[in-house]
Structure 1
Amino acid sequence: MSVQEPSAFSLYRADMLNIYDIPVQQVQGVGPQKAEELQSLGIHSVGDLFDYYPYRYEDYRIRDLAQVKNGERITVQGRVCSEALIQRFGKKARISCKVMVEELVIKAVWFNQLYIKDRLKPGTDVVLTGKWDQHRLQITVSVYEFSSGAHSPRTGTLQPVYTLSGSISQKWLRKIMGQALKQYSSHIAEILPDQIIRKRSLMARAQGIQLIHVPEDHKEGQAARTRIAYEELFLFQLKLQAFRQLNRARADGVAHKIEAETIRQFAETLPFTLTESQKKVVNEIVKDLRAPYSMNRLVQGDVGSGKTVVAAIALYAVVKSGHQGAFMAPTEILAEQHARTLKRWFEPLGIEVALLSGGMAERKRRDLLASLQSGLTDIVVGTHALIQEDVYFRSLSLVVTDEQHRFGVNQRAVLRRKGMMPDVLSMTATPIPRTLAITAFGDLDVSTIRERPKGRKPIQTFWVKDDMLDRVLEFIEKELAQGRQAYVITPLIEESDKLDVQNAVELYELLSAHFDQYKVGLLHGRLPSDEKDATMRKFSEREIELLVSTTVIEVGVDVPNATLMIVYNADRFGLSQLHQLRGRVGRGAHQSYCILIASPRTEQGVERMTVMTETEDGFEIARRDLELRGPGDFFGTKQSGLPEFKVADLTHDFELLEWARDDTAELVAKSEFWTGVAYASLRDFLYREQIFNGEIID
């Protein structure tokens, strides 16, 4: 397929985006002052106003009182049937009267609104909204309207509720939104192709915008929300899928010549047998490496699932094809571990593996850089040291990044530019729910290793309350006495007035005194890098038996002799983080344990502890974590790459997201999409989003 990059699609832009060129002050009723206040909400144009969606609705539909539960918010319509009564309580006052609702007399109460007394005459028709007290047959009124026997304009409807600022009120914004729709709804251009609207049974864009702001009922509001949410996801996925299609169309990657027999022979040299899941992922990677376009694949797998050996097979394949590979790890200690592992597997086969670290002697570093540039070194392992300006390769064709979300976009991009559009294989031990994988890594093909290597014993996980610390200390003593090692994790480094949590420094001092016959170490993020590395090496080499640490060991060194993970104040951690911590043990032949110490005060805290004791499946834990915490916090901190949607919710709209992914992938694969007039506005959208400049989307 020949992809034509757009030169000038601006003639379609006015048709698609004209409402975004109309100043909001053109809406009748919006003066200069209100226009300025609307700008503080990000509303500059009529299009911005239409895109300012309500976050919920207030239900003003008339309900049967017999079906309303005590304490619920209700709307009733009735007739005043008594004189208003005023009662004073110091500076406060309330006014009340009897109202006939159908055949039931109820009491209506207003607080501090004495000015309505003269309007509460017997025989007056009213519409009241407020909290219902079933026992007293009383409604505490929050919203009211007087009518002349007919339904109020609000009665029987859902009213949108918007985020506000300044002097803008809900009533005014609703009025202006209605006026804007009246003036300009006919100018709302359709964005989605007709065939997709029909395929997914979606309403038109103009109708969706109309009904999301002014729905007759919840069903209409939900259908409108579905339309808008799908559109957001569609446009985001269109960017990702178009980039992938362009990347394939450019065909500027390395098409490696890889024989299946070569891969099989290498696998036979390994000291273990690949799982079926690993074999499947290897086949997916090899297929990509053989293709003429650059691979961009994410391998996700639970802790201990064997991602490193899959990456090693990919590196072996490119080296046998006559090229070089680079392996970037997030920490020096992890880079050293990967380098040792790869040397053990590759050097007997004559493949040269080197470690490039920040602390190398200058002469040794110069020799390594020369070896890389000449092609004598086949594979280099390192941290961000790999992206320094003076690092050159003869033929870099594969970049592997471990825990890829921990590297910045620019860091990964720099390493890619050190080769001629090299293939990229990213790995993460953070199992990612399908929804987030499609979204955060939508420009990547995602491979998943589900199985664990044979022989791995399940980690026994226990949740204990704070008052059981003595028993926990006894258990630690038992493991250390058998020659094992243990981690003790705490959330904070130093004492905090805000959080009642054990801190690493104080805990280190307490445990050092309690276990005075053992060597206790301390590790936290504020230590200098060389001191952190030295502490981890001592722990790896059994010079330290009990390591007190913050979460800096979450992704860290493989210590097979460590069999016990203790987590203080475990309810302060997210589920996925707890699972990562638990994965630091269970990597050897001995039975391993994880003990969570927590006395949670919230239902969510209790649920997290319960989930951790019920399952070891990282993907199930990730799904539950996404439900509890939401996508923005899934990785522990707010990550770039996760888009902010106005309507779509990644936690619940996974079906819409998969629709959007499938629909856009099918669309961009057609030559008609890149040339046909019907899709010009979408191509213009891609042009303005800079998809055609060849940069990777991260």
Structure 2
Amino acid sequence: MNLQSSVTRVPKIGPKYSKLLEKLDIKTIGDLLYHFPFRYNDFSQIKKIKDLKVGDSCTVIAELESIDNIFTRNARKFTKAVFTDETGKIQVIWYNQIYIRHSFSVGENYNISGKVSSFAGKLAFLSPEIERAGRNQHTARLVPIYPETSGINSKWLRSRINDIIQVGEELEEFLPQNILKKEKLPLLKNAIEQFHFPNSVQDSELARKRFAYEEIFLELLQVLDRKKSWEQKLAAHQIEEAYHRKDLASLLSTLPFKLSESQQKALKSIFLDMANPIPMNRLLEGDVGSGKTVVAVVASYLTHLCGYKSLYMAPTELLATQHYKTFKKFLEPLGVKVDLRTSSNKTNRADSNILIGTHALIHLEGTLKNIGLVIIDEQHRFGVTQRAKLLELGTREKVPHLLTMTATPIPRTLALTLYGDLAISSIQTPETNKKNVKTWVLPESKRESAMDWIAK
């Protein structure tokens, strides 16, 4: 039994529970062990019955004195048990669970964990967690609470996870020992045990730290693998700006504003990337209105001047149409053929220089040739598979340069972590003489007036 083994290898998990676990994305033993609790019920405080008061969340270790099902005149059904220790007695009440009477034996000692309430004027536990004294799996500790689904509750998950841990098989540690030592992280086996069944809050936090580190560590390995693959296996058309500076200057002179310093810096980085035989893989981030689209227009124009085509993919048909109008406004006067392809506009001219669209562009494989640049707007809204499909629009020998754009603010350190295989450019200031973008937050009472203002 290992982490890749089917979850059905675990005792008491047959076809029925296997199907239910799939709703929680649990298919293997590893998936089950990595199904971590999102909180804990703290029942670690053990009290005597005489010390209890309403509102306490704690555990009592007591002997079952009696248990009976009670049926009232108004057809209510409940089960009442009385537990005792050397300091007193306390009631335990369950509503509409008359079968539970047969789950306990008079004279046995039990752990009773829960919140102390009152019943008929006396202290009582209402539907608490109970197990035989000494087991301490669901009681008398920090008790893990998991994401659940219909038919599977936290108690069942605790039992199955405990079954795996009790087998005692060694889990192969894959984090380097020097990292474990430097970051003071527990071994995988200890971390699994302490995340699910911690001895203290500090132990659970240390386990959480280990798995948070592990998640980022594995993500970074994938980033490095993608970057290495990108640099070693792929080649691109060399699109060089040096031979077309005069034409680019003509385009920039037609703009109703002067490019900001950060736009110019972003374009310089893009030009350097596109002149390289290794395909560009750059992320351009900037707030709404910062001028990312104009940067894309200039990059697409340079691609056209070098004899190649550009594809621009937006996440919605509305945005695609909006960008189509922008590209057409600036580039058609310079002889560039700009076309739009969406679900409602099936334009597919062979002589298009720049094609703008939505997901529909993915299905153009084999119909367009000589693609030098692919631009993806709001890159986080497209899956990895979709982005890879766009790159297949190139040839076997050459793939297009890739420029992805986002208006979502991403702290640079986080961006370098999540997108370490991408070069990053940021536009921090809007174009000169361009109106500032203002954001307004209005109460619900002004919704109609806001709609009227937008309509104007």
Bin the TM-score by the shorter chain: 0.7 to 0.9
Residue 85 of structure 1 deviates from its aligned partner by 9.8
* Mapped partners of 1:160, 1:460: distance in 2: 43
Q: Which residue of 1 aligns with 2:371?
A: 396
Q: Which residue of 1 aligns with 2:80?
A: 95
Mapped pair 1:418 → 2:402: no
Whether the 8 Å CA contact 2:324–2:339 is kept in 1: the answer is: no
What residue identity is the alignment partner of 1:336? Answer: Y
Give me the TM-score of the superposition, normalised by structure 1: 0.51
Mapped pair 1:356 → 2:342: no
Q: 2:14 aligns with which of 14, 17, 35?
A: 35
Q: 2:357 aligns with which of 379, 383, 388?
A: 383
Q: Which string of whole-angstrom CA distances, capped at 9 and with x for unpartnered residues, describes residues 18-50 of structure 1?
A: 7146565665xx26xx33344222566544543
Whether the 8 Å CA contact 2:223–2:420 is kept in 1: the answer is: yes
For the residue of structure 2 that corresponds to 1:241, the secondary structure is helix
Q: 2:113 aligns with which of 129, 134, 148?
A: 129
For the residue of structure 2 that corresponds to 1:463, the secondary structure is coil
Q: 2:427 aligns with which of 449, 467, 472?
A: 449
Q: 2:298 aligns with which of 301, 306, 313?
A: 313
Q: 1:302 aligns with which of 287, 293, 302?
A: 287
> Larger deviation: 417-426 or 256-265?
256-265
Whether the 8 Å CA contact 2:59–2:112 is kept in 1: the answer is: yes
Q: 1:201 aligns with which of 177, 184, 190?
A: 184
Q: Which string of whole-angstrom CA distances, capped at 9 and with x for unpartnered residues, describes residues 140-181 of structure 1?
A: 24123454xx79676542233445678777556544433432
What residue identity is the alignment partner of 1:159? Answer: V
* Mapped partners of 2:83, 2:33: distance in 1: 42
Q: Which residue of 2 aligns with 1:624?
A: none
* Mapped partners of 2:321, 2:309: distance in 1: 23
Structure 1 alignment gaps of length 5 or more: 1-17, 360-364, 373-378, 477-485, 488-545, 547-561, 563-698
Whether the 8 Å CA contact 2:46–2:60 is kept in 1: the answer is: no
For the residue of structure 2 that corresponds to 1:185, the secondary structure is coil
For the residue of structure 2 that corresponds to 1:75, the secondary structure is strand
Q: 2:442 aligns with which of 463, 476, 489?
A: 463
Kindly tell me: are residues 19 and 450 of structure 1, through their superposed partners in 2, closer, same or farther at Cα, counting changes over 3 Å? same
Kindly tell me: are residues 291 and 198 of structure 1, through their superposed partners in 2, closer, same or farther at Cα, counting changes over 3 Å? farther
Considering only aligned residues, what root-mean-square deviation do their CA atoms show, in Å?
4.6
* Mapped partners of 2:262, 2:52: distance in 1: 53
Whether the 8 Å CA contact 2:281–2:401 is kept in 1: the answer is: yes
Trace 1:432-581 onto structure 2 (pairs within 5 A): 443-455=421-433, 456-457=435-436, 459=438, 461-466=440-445, 472=449, 476=452, 486-487=453-454, 546=455
Whether the 8 Å CA contact 2:391–2:399 is kept in 1: the answer is: no
* Mapped partners of 1:132, 1:464: distance in 2: 43
* Mapped partners of 2:29, 2:447: distance in 1: 62
* Mapped partners of 1:204, 1:460: distance in 2: 49
For the residue of structure 1 that corresponds to 2:209, the secondary structure is helix
Trace 1:517-666 onto structure 2 (pairs within 5 A): 546=455
Q: Which string of whole-angstrom CA distances, capped at 9 and with x for unpartnered residues, describes residues 55-80 of structure 1?
A: 44333201679xx9997561233557
Kindly tell me: are residues 287 and 304 of structure 1, through their superposed partners in 2, closer, same or farther at Cα, counting changes over 3 Å? same
Q: 1:111 aligns with which of 75, 94, 119?
A: 94
* Mapped partners of 1:152, 1:310: distance in 2: 63
* Mapped partners of 1:162, 1:312: distance in 2: 49
Kindly tell me: are residues 24 and 132 of structure 1, through their superposed partners in 2, closer, same or farther at Cα, counting changes over 3 Å? same
Whether the 8 Å CA contact 1:161–1:170 is kept in 2: the answer is: yes
* Mapped partners of 1:436, 1:206: distance in 2: 29
* Mapped partners of 2:140, 2:262: distance in 1: 56
Whether the 8 Å CA contact 1:131–1:140 is kept in 2: the answer is: yes
Q: Which residue of 2 aligns with 1:674?
A: none
What residue identity is the alignment partner of 2:130? Answer: Y
Mapped pair 1:160 → 2:129: no
Structure 2 alignment gaps of length 5 or more: none
Residue 185 of structure 1 deviates from its aligned partner by 2.6
* Mapped partners of 2:56, 2:180: distance in 1: 37
Q: % of aligned pairs identical?
A: 25
Residue 421 of structure 1 deviates from its aligned partner by 0.9
Trace 1:233-248 onto structure 2 (pairs within 5 A): 233-248=216-231
Whether the 8 Å CA contact 1:19–1:184 is kept in 2: the answer is: no
Q: Which residue of 2 aligns with 1:76?
A: 59
Residue 307 of structure 1 deviates from its aligned partner by 0.6
Q: 1:292 aligns with which of 277, 286, 294?
A: 277
Kindly tell me: are residues 273 and 134 of structure 1, through their superposed partners in 2, closer, same or farther at Cα, counting changes over 3 Å? farther
Whether the 8 Å CA contact 2:53–2:123 is kept in 1: the answer is: no
For the residue of structure 1 that corresponds to 2:264, the secondary structure is helix
* Mapped partners of 2:123, 2:328: distance in 1: 75
Q: Which residue of 2 aligns with 1:182?
A: 166
* Mapped partners of 1:358, 1:337: distance in 2: 13
Give the number of equivalent residue pairs. 428
Mapped pair 1:336 → 2:324: yes
* Mapped partners of 2:242, 2:408: distance in 1: 32
Q: Which residue of 2 aligns with 1:143?
A: 129
Kindly tell me: are residues 189 and 462 of structure 1, through their superposed partners in 2, closer, same or farther at Cα, counting changes over 3 Å? closer
What residue identity is the alignment partner of 1:214? Answer: F
Whether the 8 Å CA contact 1:74–1:131 is kept in 2: the answer is: yes
Whether the 8 Å CA contact 2:64–2:105 is kept in 1: the answer is: no
* Mapped partners of 1:260, 1:63: distance in 2: 80
Kindly tell me: are residues 245 and 177 of structure 1, through their superposed partners in 2, closer, same or farther at Cα, counting changes over 3 Å? same
Q: Which residue of 2 aligns with 1:220?
A: 203
Q: Which structure shows the bigger proportion of residues in helix conformation?
A: 1
Q: Which residue of 2 aligns with 1:622?
A: none
Whether the 8 Å CA contact 1:339–1:354 is kept in 2: the answer is: no
Residue 425 of structure 1 deviates from its aligned partner by 1.2
Kindly tell me: are residues 402 and 50 of structure 1, through their superposed partners in 2, closer, same or farther at Cα, counting changes over 3 Å? closer
Q: Which string of whole-angstrom CA distances, capped at 9 and with x for unpartnered residues, describes residues 264-298 of structure 1?
A: 94686243222233233223323322333111222
Give me the TM-score of the superposition, normalised by structure 2: 0.73
* Mapped partners of 1:81, 1:411: distance in 2: 64
Kindly tell me: are residues 35 and 469 of structure 1, through their superposed partners in 2, closer, same or farther at Cα, counting changes over 3 Å? closer
* Mapped partners of 2:86, 2:356: distance in 1: 76
* Mapped partners of 2:219, 2:405: distance in 1: 23
Q: 2:40 aligns with which of 26, 40, 57?
A: 57
